[in-house]
Amino acid sequence: MRYFIFLFNILGIFISLSASPFNGSHIAHRPTIKTLHTSLNADGEYDMPILQLNGEQNLTFSFDEIGGDIQNYYYTIEHCNADWSPSSLSTIEWAEGFVSNPLNDAMVSYNTTQNYVHYQVSLPNEDVQLKVSGNYLLHIHEADDPEQRVATFSFYVTTQDLMVSGEVHARTLKEINKRYQQVDFEVITGNYPMTNPTSEIKVKIVQNNRLDTEKWLEPSYIGNGKLIYKNNPELVFEGGVEYQTIDFSSRFSYGEGIERIRFADPMYVVDLYPKIIDVYKSYEYKKDANGKFVINQQEWEDDVLTADYFLVRFSIPTEAPFFDGGIYIIGEMNQNQMNLESRMTYNAQLKCYEKILLLKQGGYNFVYAFKEKGKKQATLLRTEGSYWQTENEYTIFVYHRGFGERYDKLLSVRSLTN
């Protein structure tokens, strides 16, 4: 119990359910819920939550709850439209089996300074199979009250009926070979039945699974069984930088970015080297995972249950704070969300931005992003710099709703890299 009280006095994290609308990211509805993770076939690698309809793979959803007692949770699946609003289909139209079931796979950690319970479930399973494509939500909630949610996962089911081809290049509408990248692509509709592609097809694109970069697109022109998206100002993105990588899978040896790992009773603390802002430095290639993370530790065999939770200290020295916005730490470790949990706080006495995050042992990718007040999209131009050479992943989603149909079919998901 003392670990629990110490932890949340230190972090001071308070999360409001009403402040977390469903928008395609995973959501922890309680501050005790950590490490929301999705992987195909339970391979341990972080994967985009995408399933192919009637395919052979399954998707494993997992999370940890700080504390040592297993709770009686259920999971409930919800089918959604492209904008994550509930679809009008009845349950029997999109699912076979029971869409609400007990969450039976729960295991308690061991050999850790911070106790936690690890929960996971895979879909599809023997209790429920999915019958149609589209967007889905997986709600984890109290057994006796579906509205008392613990966590929500967003995922996609696609038919891959349409092909998407394209390229990422530095010849942008803003400038050439400098700070930006442009995506040009085409959706090959072929003989797929549709009456009016312009009104029936919806297309969105997102960079590195950052929902603040999400854009809904109109085709530049249509012809010969193709929707062409080219020379569109909406398809110009900051190149950004290669993600920073930290690895604290071991308490005794650590690599780039980590100054030291120390034990401060009752748990370990990871002190990162301060981030020095230099947006004019030359481009530097570093192999990264575009914001993803992996859970592992080197002292024991069972990564899932013996990986410990450490307090990780981030800092950025600046003579004065930014008055027109805030600095956020973003990556899949916090579902790329820009909220109180990811926002850094300015310490006037130390003249730096700082943040402490509770993270499970492993390797993490992240960047520092600046978001101006009143704007949705963050920028790296004021914190990290931006370069056309940066390797990024652009994911394109193609939806279709024909005349008179009652839900958005997801016909294709395609990722492009430069």
Residues 154 and 7 in one domain: yes
Side-by-side strand order, sheet with 409-417? 210-217, 201-207, 393-400, 409-417
Rounded average pLDDT over 199-203: 96
Confidence check: pLDDT of 12 > 80: no
Amino acid at 141: H
Structural domains counted in the chain: 3
Q: Judge whether 38 lies within some domain.
A: yes
Rounded average pLDDT over 399-410: 96
Nearest to 38 by CA among 60, 57, 19, 54: 60
Per-residue confidence (pLDDT) for residue 47, from 0 to 100: 84
Residues 252 and 359 in one domain: yes
Chain Cα centroid distance, residue 63: 14
Residues 134 and 199 in one domain: no
Q: Coil, strand or helix: which one is 199?
A: helix
Higher pLDDT, 21 or 230: 230
Q: Judge whether 405 lies within some domain.
A: no
Confidence check: pLDDT of 4 > 90: no
18, 278 contact by CB (below 8 A): no
**pLDDT per residue as tens digits for the range 159-170:** 999 999 999 999
**pLDDT per residue as tens digits for the range 110-150:** 999 999 999 999 999 999 999 999 999 999 999 999 999 99
Per-residue confidence (pLDDT) for residue 175, from 0 to 100: 95
Long-range CB pairs of 374-381 (<8 Å, 24+ gap) are 375/325, 376/212, 377/212, 377/213, 378/210, 378/212, 378/328, 378/330, 378/338, 379/238, 380/238, 380/240, 380/241, 381/179, 381/238, 381/279
Q: Judge whether 42 lies within some domain.
A: yes
Residues 20 and 146 in one domain: yes
Residues 151 and 250 in one domain: no
Tokens matching residue 229: 């998206």
Boundary residue ending a domain (158, 176, 210): 158
Residues 153 and 178 in one domain: no
CA–CA distance, 86 with 84 (Å, rounded to integer): 6
Burial bucket for residue 368 (CB in 10 Å: 0-12, 13-18, 19+): buried
Residues 186 and 73 in one domain: no
Rounded average pLDDT over 180-208: 95
Q: Judge whether 392 lies within some domain.
A: no
**pLDDT per residue as tens digits for the range 326-375:** 999 999 999 999 999 999 999 999 999 999 999 999 999 999 999 999 99
Q: Judge whether 386 lies within some domain.
A: no
Confidence check: pLDDT of 382 > 50: yes
pLDDT, the chain, mean: 93
Per-residue confidence (pLDDT) for residue 16, from 0 to 100: 33
Residue 22: which pLDDT band, with cuts at 50, 70 and 90?
Answer: confident
Q: Judge whether 273 lies within some domain.
A: yes
CA–CA distance, 239 with 226 (Å, rounded to integer): 27
Residues 34 and 100 in one domain: yes
Confidence check: pLDDT of 403 > 60: yes
Q: Judge whether 395 lies within some domain.
A: no
Confidence check: pLDDT of 17 > 80: no
69, 107 contact by CB (below 8 A): no
Residues 154 and 167 in one domain: no
Q: What is the CATH number of the domain that holds 308?
A: 2.60.40
Per-residue confidence (pLDDT) for residue 21, from 0 to 100: 58
**pLDDT per residue as tens digits for the range 281-312:** 999 999 999 999 999 998 888 889 999 999 99
Nearest to 220 by CA among 179, 181, 182, 178: 182
Q: Quick one: DSSP state of residue 111?
A: S
Residues 55 and 94 in one domain: yes
Boundary residue ending a domain (206, 238, 270): 238
Distances (CA, A) of 204 to 129, 215, 378, 394: 26, 5, 18, 10
Boundary residue ending a domain (95, 130, 158): 158
Range of the domain at 250: 244-372
Residues 230 and 249 in one domain: no
**pLDDT per residue as tens digits for the range 309-332:** 999 999 999 999 999 999 999 999
Residue 44: which pLDDT band, with cuts at 50, 70 and 90?
Answer: low
Composition of the chain by helix, strand, coil, percent to 5: 5, 45, 45
Amino acid at 182: Q
Chain Cα centroid distance, residue 73: 23
Percent of the chain with pLDDT over 70: 94
Q: Name 246's bridge partners.
A: 364
Please tell me the pTM assigned to this model: 0.92
Higher pLDDT, 20 or 207: 207
Q: Judge whether 388 lies within some domain.
A: no
Residues 264 and 367 in one domain: yes
Tokens matching residue 93: 């139209």
Rounded average pLDDT over 78-86: 97
